[in-house]
Structure 1
Amino acid sequence: MNMPRTIAEYLEQLRAALRGADPALIQDALYDAEEHLRSELAENPQRSEADMLAHVVGTYGAPDEVADIYRDQEIKIQRALRPPPAPKRRSIFGRFFGVAADSRTWGAMFYMVLALATGIFYFVWAVTGVSLSMGLSVLIIGIPFIVLFLGTVRALSLLEGRIVETMLGVRMPRRPPYPVRHGQTLWQRIGAIFTDGRTWTTLFYMVLMLPLGILYFTLTVTLMAVSLAFIASPVAYLLGRYDAFGWFTNDQITINWGMGPHVPTLGDGIVLCVIGIILLFATLHLVRGLGKLHGHIAKGLLVPSVERAA
């Protein structure tokens, strides 16, 4: 590999050396490298960019060496952060009920419930910001407001990435894309924000989170409530609290199954309890699956691919 003579060449060689790695890891590595190189150049203004890079290669490392370091660190970090693996179960029943032992299941469930609040916030922020940006675009403060709004969108995407990585276990960027490019004018930097596809996919994600948040919250809360209510049926029967399943008729609790009245028995409560347990674990599987699906959606919309970033 040829010795890079500019920061852009160094970053391009680093990107090439990291080809095939996680896009989030590539974004973090490029940000760290560019920040280090820019600070070195700013601290030694008497040096040319080529001389500074020759010095940095000996201290910070060549692009391929830095790429190997990041790959090794990523493996160590992921091993440290990965929750203990659930024991493998070969039987169908073991796999079905073993979902409760997977920590990612509960992380996904918490995310499904939280998604309603974050979805409302993201939607309101995006719609309000876009509306005000369009309204103020005819005024002199329009452009600064739009740039500030899009900057907050990028910051929120980084925050959402941390939430997704923590709760859903999907690797997301821990650094933003480097905001300043050497030699760019102010207008070129502003134009880069508008031409960056990630800006608009992030806005789309923020709007999309409202219907997704409503769906996730409704499914999770409704299915959990129904399953827990079914599981509590025998206790409700023994306590004489069967109002949830019928109504009082002639001082007796009856249920109309469509084939005439039926007086609930303890056996009915036990059957509902079994159905509730099955529904509960089926809900856990559904929640875990939705968490994995949403992780892919978030990564596709919030993380630029290597091809787009190049």
Structure 2
Amino acid sequence: MNTTAATGSFARPDSALPQSIPDYLDRLRAALAGADKALIQDALYDAEEYLRSEMAENPGQSEAEVIAAVAGSYGAPDEVAEIYRDTEVKVQTALRPPAPRPRQSLLGRFFGVAAEPRTYAALFYMLFSLATGIFYFTWVNVGLSVSLGMLILIIGVPLLILFLGSVRILSLVEGRLVEVMLGERMPRRPLYQNRERPILERIKDMFADPRTWSTLIYMLLMLPLGIVYFTVAVTGLSVSLSLIFFPLLRLVGLGTVQFDGYDVFMAWEPWSWPVAMLIGVVLLFATLHIARFVGKFHGQIAKHLLVRLG
């Protein structure tokens, strides 16, 4: 969100304003201390992009002069930080699904998970994670093996740079999936790259950025995590739904569960079928609780590996 401060901010002496863009960004980061790290990354990107564009439109002015000129329209660091905090609260309030009515009893909390929209989004993410895990794992392994294997030739260097650039793009895509499905705030802007800097310096920054390598770790982890998430979700849903519906089908003469040529349900006494259905219902809701836990757990993994925390 490109957020600008309201026009007409109170005037302040030039000495109180940052004298350079790095100084402005440092003060903005300090003013946002304690805010979500993804929000801080977005705010820093927007501020640097705006200030750099103003510098490009006013080549005859120094950074201090440009900052002083835009202080009334864009805002000083503390003003911009306050606007971002307020806007974030409004956006999250608007996007957050309605909170279910608090339940005091143990049974209410156990079965109330079905009323939370995030539960089904997290369950879908568990099912979808196997596909994304296979894709990420394959992309990283093929990209690294090809680019590193070609380093003996001059083409290997640009291949490695392109591969790492693609990984940073994929991290933003994964971040949007995590935010939409799991509800964890993720960056909506990449790390800013000053295009006026020499390209070799920008490439050096990409290699020196810990987030580049933590993103690779995340993508490699997604395959084993995706296998676990998918297996737990499919097993939980299939077993619980089988226990719920197969006794009903047997009542009308349909549905069999064969094990070594032996019909399992046929051996069950009719009085045991309601017990099986009850166990199935409990397992189904337990699976939904597991999905909610996985959503929060994986959201924290994504936050720590895909977002620059410094």
TM-score norm. by structure 1 comes to 0.92
| C-alpha separation in 1, matches of 2:162 and 2:259 | 57
1:67 to 59, 81, 86: 81
1:176 and 2:190 equivalent? yes
* 3-state secondary structure, aligned to 2:91: helix
Question: Does structure 2 conserve the Cα–Cα contact (< 8 Å) formed by 1:113 and 1:221?
Answer: yes
Relative to 1, partners in 2 of residues 1:50 and 1:263: Cα closer, same or farther, differing over 3 Å? closer
Relative to 1, partners in 2 of residues 1:246 and 1:266: Cα closer, same or farther, differing over 3 Å? farther
2:252 to 230, 233, 239: 239
Q: Which moved further from structure 2: 237-246 or 134-143?
A: 237-246
Aligned pairs for 1:1-310 (under 5 A) are 2-180=16-194, 184-241=197-254, 243-244=256-257, 263-305=267-309, 308=310
* 3-state secondary structure, aligned to 1:90: coil
* 3-state secondary structure, aligned to 2:186: coil
Question: Does structure 2 conserve the Cα–Cα contact (< 8 Å) formed by 1:17 and 1:63?
Answer: yes
| C-alpha separation in 2, matches of 1:248 and 1:206 | 43
Question: Does structure 2 conserve the Cα–Cα contact (< 8 Å) formed by 1:248 and 1:254?
Answer: no
Instruction: Please tell me the residue identity of whatever aligns with 1:136.
Output: M
Relative to 1, partners in 2 of residues 1:143 and 1:178: Cα closer, same or farther, differing over 3 Å? same
Question: Does structure 2 conserve the Cα–Cα contact (< 8 Å) formed by 1:233 and 1:270?
Answer: no
- Deviation, 1:186, is 2.0
| C-alpha separation in 1, matches of 2:194 and 2:137 | 28
| C-alpha separation in 2, matches of 1:189 and 1:77 | 33
| C-alpha separation in 1, matches of 2:135 and 2:194 | 29
| C-alpha separation in 1, matches of 2:290 and 2:251 | 32
| C-alpha separation in 1, matches of 2:93 and 2:169 | 27
Relative to 1, partners in 2 of residues 1:143 and 1:263: Cα closer, same or farther, differing over 3 Å? closer
**Which structure 1 residue ranges, 5 or more long, are not aligned?**
256-261
Q: Which moved further from structure 2: 272-281 or 185-194?
A: 185-194
Question: Does structure 2 conserve the Cα–Cα contact (< 8 Å) formed by 1:18 and 1:26?
Answer: yes
**Which structure 2 residue ranges, 5 or more long, are not aligned?**
1-14
Cα distance per residue 1:248-301 (max 9 Å; x no partner): 77xxx567xxxxxx8323222211101000000011001110111000000010
| C-alpha separation in 2, matches of 1:248 and 1:68 | 69
Instruction: Please tell me the residue identity of whatever aligns with 1:14.
Output: L
- Deviation, 1:127, is 0.7
Instruction: Please tell me the residue identity of whatever aligns with 1:273.
Output: M
Relative to 1, partners in 2 of residues 1:248 and 1:100: Cα closer, same or farther, differing over 3 Å? same
Counterpart for residue 258 of structure 1:
none
Cα distance per residue 1:9-63 (max 9 Å; x no partner): 1111111111111000000000000000011111111222221111011211000
| C-alpha separation in 2, matches of 1:241 and 1:21 | 57
| C-alpha separation in 1, matches of 2:244 and 2:199 | 63
For these two proteins, the number of residue pairs brought into alignment is 296
Question: Does structure 1 conserve the Cα–Cα contact (< 8 Å) formed by 2:236 and 2:287?
Answer: yes
| C-alpha separation in 2, matches of 1:233 and 1:269 | 9
- Deviation, 1:245, is 5.8
Instruction: Please tell me the residue identity of whatever aligns with 1:286.
Output: I
Question: Does structure 1 conserve the Cα–Cα contact (< 8 Å) formed by 2:246 and 2:256?
Answer: no
* 3-state secondary structure, aligned to 1:220: helix
| C-alpha separation in 1, matches of 2:264 and 2:229 | 34
- Deviation, 1:176, is 0.5
Instruction: Please tell me the residue identity of whatever aligns with 2:228.
Output: L
**% identical aligned pairs:** 57
CA RMSD of aligned residues (A): 1.7
Instruction: Please tell me the residue identity of whatever aligns with 1:149.
Output: F
